[in-house]
Amino acid sequence: MIKVLIYAFFMILLGLNVLKAEIIESKNISPTVEDKFEDYEDIKALVNYLTKIEEESVKIEIKRKKKDYILKHRTELESYIENGKNVIPLIYTILIKHNLPPELLAVPIIESHYKIMAKSSKGALGLWQLMPETARSFGLKVNKEVDERLDPIKSTLAAVQYLKKLYSVFGDWQLVLASYNAGHNKVITKVSYHGNSFSNIKNFLPKQTKEYVLNFIAIAEVVTEIIKKKGLDKEDV
């Protein structure tokens, strides 16, 4: 629906500009700087308006997903947290020490269901589902004899450094999460073309990445609440 509205708005705007050009040509009058500035302001106002519509659509979608998780999937979330009950306090401590939001405890929920041995078909491994090259770039040993992605503490420290690096690039957690899923180069490209917010680029991302970010936002509050209720949000000393 939003795409249709965007298309309709721009077609109307295009039609008005064509009509305006014809009038100018028929009168043999050149458009003034003021006319061009007004056109620019009109387009800017339209873009801002459409951006607000996109942002509102994201909020509505997140609200729907959150309700769905609470009503239909809360038991699943609790079982995933149960999987990680021995490591969540350690991860919580690391996040706090690195001044990162504790809501990031929801990342391993989505990535691995807090299963330390989780492995993807693409080669991602461990709680944080790090790819071999990413793990190595943040100091983990990954070879035939040793794979430190399976070490909850070392892999968490690597994931934390990766997340901090992404945040230094984007300064926006939604874009960080999109980058964590799809790769930062892909997100940088989308941002350069479509704007520097998730709302701007979400429809140009792979569906999996779009859902990844929306699902994280939807479950983060619920997961944080369950973890707190279970007393797992304590710094491990």
Answer yes or no: are the C-beta atoms of 62 and 218 closer than 8 Å.
Answer: yes
Residue among 56, 60, 43, 50 at smallest CA distance from 6: 50
Written as one string, the DSSP assignment of 50-76 is HHHHHHHHHHHHHHHHHHHHHHHSHHH
Answer yes or no: are the C-beta atoms of 108 and 91 closer than 8 Å.
Answer: yes
Domain annotation covers residue 70: yes
pLDDT at 153: 97
pLDDT at 31: 54
What's the pLDDT tens digit per position in 192-217?
Answer: 999 889 988 999 999 999 999 999 99
Which residue bears the tokens 């797992």?
232
pLDDT at 14: 46
Helices (H), the chain: 2-26, 33-72, 74-83, 88-97, 107-112, 132-137, 152-170, 173-182, 184-194, 198-201, 207-229
Catalytic status, residue 103: no
pLDDT at 236: 60
CATH number reported for the structural domain that contains residue 123 in this entry:
1.10.530.10
What's the pTM value of the predicted model, to 2 decimals? 0.75
* 111, 133, 145, 148: the active-site residue: 111
- The three-state secondary structure class of 142 is strand
Mean local confidence (pLDDT), 140-161 = 98
Domain annotation covers residue 113: yes
Least confident stretch, 58-62, 123-127, 178-182, 198-202: 58-62
Domain annotation covers residue 236: no
Helices (H), 73-151: 74-83, 88-97, 107-112, 132-137
Mean local confidence (pLDDT), 85-111 = 96
What's the pLDDT tens digit per position in 47-64?
Answer: 454 455 556 666 777 788
Report how many domains make up the chain.
1
**What domain range includes position 61?**
2-229
Domain annotation covers residue 237: no
Give 97's pLDDT tier (boundaries 50, 70, 90): very high
Domain annotation covers residue 20: yes
Answer yes or no: are the C-beta atoms of 97 and 89 closer than 8 Å.
Answer: no
pLDDT at 52: 56
- The three-state secondary structure class of 119 is strand
Other beta carbons within 10 angstroms of residue 228's beta carbon come to: 12
Residue 4 predicted with pLDDT over 90:
no
Least confident stretch, 23-27, 118-122, 175-179, 196-200: 23-27
Other beta carbons within 10 angstroms of residue 128's beta carbon come to: 24
Q: How far apart are CA 167 and CA 223, in angstroms?
A: 22
Domain annotation covers residue 202: yes
